[in-house]
Structure 1
């Protein structure tokens, strides 16, 4: 069987020699192959040369605009699902051409093709990294209009999913409140009542909203207490992880299962961003932490990438001062990390993630002693000590002491070299 990367290059090179229907079949075949690729494989396929070639084929009339849109949407969908940034798009001829196409179609006074404008916007937004504010003012309302379709047939759901995925790719760019926030909250609220979106579409809607958080602090109350992000994210994680047969070898999983694993990864990104921005406390927090821990346990031994992201998520959640050490205990984050620590070895990224989390939790106890009171601190420290003692944490931490310098150099991060930071000392009373 041919290497899938070489097969993709071969199919692409054949496109300019095919008629319209043959091109469509080959593009659909490329789409199926790209969906099976790893992130590294897909990165190796995408290049400015490929994107420029697409533009050249359009200009030389060797590829119809319809087929070019189909191919670019396939590429955009796969890269967004796998969380790949297409840096080569910024300087490509396709970038420049589609900017012009969007503006020209939007400015038409008569015979404006709304469907074509949506296609142009989806191609551009799904692949781009930098978004001129003028184009966002056209593309965001256009895509939100598609996303608010209420039909539930498969074709409509696919259109909604693609529109919301494209919107989710708009991260730290400024999007004016009047262009985005009311509409996206309406889409989320409608789904919560009618369940009309796919898992990926719903996650994408939340991603677009959460990435507006830093620029629009008034969203906090809406996100936390009205739309119940924490509860919804926990429920979605549960549904997704239960759909996957984690015990099967990854290579043998079907497309649907692998898609749901990738959506879990996208949720973890959004959850981290939420906790790094949110200042409110909500009693649902430890439930979401527990949801991440359950995803970690399901993926353990089967999908190391998701496991590492879960541990990293705990560390980022701890950075939020609205989250207490007790929340992390109730959510079983500490249990998961301490147990995982047992299985790690030198030169392992998971070791670094575990050490970082434990160091931050134990340092936080020191910092909050006066604020929480000695009695409460001692109670929490005792719980931590018991968990760590059960797993032989002290012996394990000591065994890693000699390599702390190694981890500090390798990851260029503030790991403590004071071994006492990784121990819990319970003051004996009486």
Structure 2
């Protein structure tokens, strides 16, 4: 039983059903009538409920009014800042882990209070409370995505200093994980000088590569923060590709995570994602964004393609979400000049699509993905190379892919989709060509 929420005690199942903003406003008002220790207990109960919320519940509960009410309780000294931070960290943590978008905090009076407190605490020369400053920065960073430059110059160094801690105790690992999570919430469109982060984030990643001191999630967050900076600063490409070996590390992490997940668990047994599943989801999202929006030239792509193909085969029967994510990444690769057809062939992306097309559960969306994939592969293989060796390679790859398709009868399957092209274009992205031969790799 979870106690202390509202006038009557309710079971955990009953509390999970409470989605009304009024219930949570009442919860805040109850906090204002308790001493600090009782507040802490109630907030722990609240955090359990928050962790189980879906996106629509978050939107209905954490409104501008809710954050303004919390600000009023702070102003009236009815709610301690220690407990405010404890609650906001959990809200921000769930925002980011569940990939939710909510701008209510940054429209609230509480946001203005936090902004002023961060600036004031940072400007103190004497009696600066470093722990408070870190907590304020973490809450602020995890609850919004766009930052004024003045705040960026305070928040990023402050949080990276915490993330540089190298002790391997569980407490420190959890703190570093939460700090890196707050940092990777900073949107890729936010510009910042390399001097604010480059040396620190490189040290965090390199140290983990040698000593494995971070959790799997923390390591993913560190990479996500760095890759997000790449979208505004292309000069980081050499560091990402050649110094820190992004593709190699992503491949190794995905393979390790694939081994950790019990892929035979029934749907009803996996109501909540494990940390390994969360890390895997975030790696896949990051890879998709990379191949779609900022493809890097990288000689190590065949390894990452192999790891995605391995995950695809492990997950497609019982964890269709992951299987579909793999297919979408391969589709983005086929459209990216940063990924060679040679790597896609060696890594198993071609085989993954050929296998998928023969599955009896193929739906319209997957048909569209398969057709777009082979259309892009076919178009790229039609482009003749000026260099004789590269041209010889192109012809060899065309022959190999054509033989693979012929061996499993894929051209007949693709031809059977011809009458559906108009329908698929109308219902998806209008990107398919109407000539069915554009999907064949003809030698």
TM-score, length-normalised on structure 1? Answer: 0.90
Counterpart of 2:29 in structure 1 is 16
TM-aligned CA deviation for residue 387 of structure 1: 2.7
Counterpart of 1:82 in structure 2 is 98
Q: Is the 8 A contact 1:83 1:266 kept in 2?
A: no
**Residue 379 (str. 1) matches residue 390 (str. 2):** no
The 1-side partners of 2:170 and 2:302 are apart by: 36
**Residue 419 (str. 1) matches residue 419 (str. 2):** no
- When structure 1 is superposed on structure 2, of 257-266 and 384-393 the one drifting more is 384-393
The 1-side partners of 2:409 and 2:254 are apart by: 31
Matched ranges for 1:28-427 at <5 A: 28-39=44-55, 41-43=57-59, 45-170=61-186, 171-253=188-270, 258-275=274-291, 276-282=293-299, 284-343=300-359, 348-368=364-384, 375-426=392-443
Instruction: Describe the shift of the 1:53–1:38 C-alpha distance in structure 2 as closer, same or farther (beyond 3 A).
Output: same
Instruction: Describe the shift of the 1:407–1:238 C-alpha distance in structure 2 as closer, same or farther (beyond 3 A).
Output: same
**DSSP 3-state at the match of 2:174:** helix
Counterpart of 2:4 in structure 1 is none
CA deviations on 1:248-271 (whole Å, 9 max, x unpaired) are 12442385x522212111112222
Instruction: Describe the shift of the 1:55–1:367 C-alpha distance in structure 2 as closer, same or farther (beyond 3 A).
Output: farther
CA deviations on 1:285-323 (whole Å, 9 max, x unpaired) are 101111111112222132222222211211222333232
TM-aligned CA deviation for residue 3 of structure 1: 6.9
**DSSP 3-state at the match of 1:204:** helix
TM-aligned CA deviation for residue 370 of structure 1: 5.6
The 2-side partners of 1:300 and 1:211 are apart by: 29
Q: Is the 8 A contact 1:81 1:263 kept in 2?
A: no
Q: Is the 8 A contact 1:341 1:354 kept in 2?
A: yes
Q: Is the 8 A contact 2:217 2:278 kept in 1?
A: no
Q: Is the 8 A contact 1:296 1:310 kept in 2?
A: yes
Q: Root-mean-square deviation (CA), in Å?
A: 2.5
Counterpart of 2:16 in structure 1 is 4
The 2-side partners of 1:289 and 1:191 are apart by: 23
The 1-side partners of 2:54 and 2:183 are apart by: 23
Instruction: Describe the shift of the 1:26–1:395 C-alpha distance in structure 2 as closer, same or farther (beyond 3 A).
Output: farther
TM-aligned CA deviation for residue 385 of structure 1: 2.2
The 1-side partners of 2:369 and 2:15 are apart by: 34
TM-aligned CA deviation for residue 91 of structure 1: 1.8
CA deviations on 1:347-385 (whole Å, 9 max, x unpaired) are 643333222222211111113466676643332122222
The 1-side partners of 2:75 and 2:179 are apart by: 27
- When structure 1 is superposed on structure 2, of 131-140 and 411-420 the one drifting more is 411-420
**DSSP 3-state at the match of 1:215:** coil
TM-aligned CA deviation for residue 408 of structure 1: 1.7
Instruction: Describe the shift of the 1:321–1:68 C-alpha distance in structure 2 as closer, same or farther (beyond 3 A).
Output: same
Instruction: Describe the shift of the 1:271–1:399 C-alpha distance in structure 2 as closer, same or farther (beyond 3 A).
Output: same
TM-score, length-normalised on structure 2? Answer: 0.88
Structure 1 residue runs of 5 or longer lacking an equivalent are none
The 2-side partners of 1:420 and 1:138 are apart by: 57
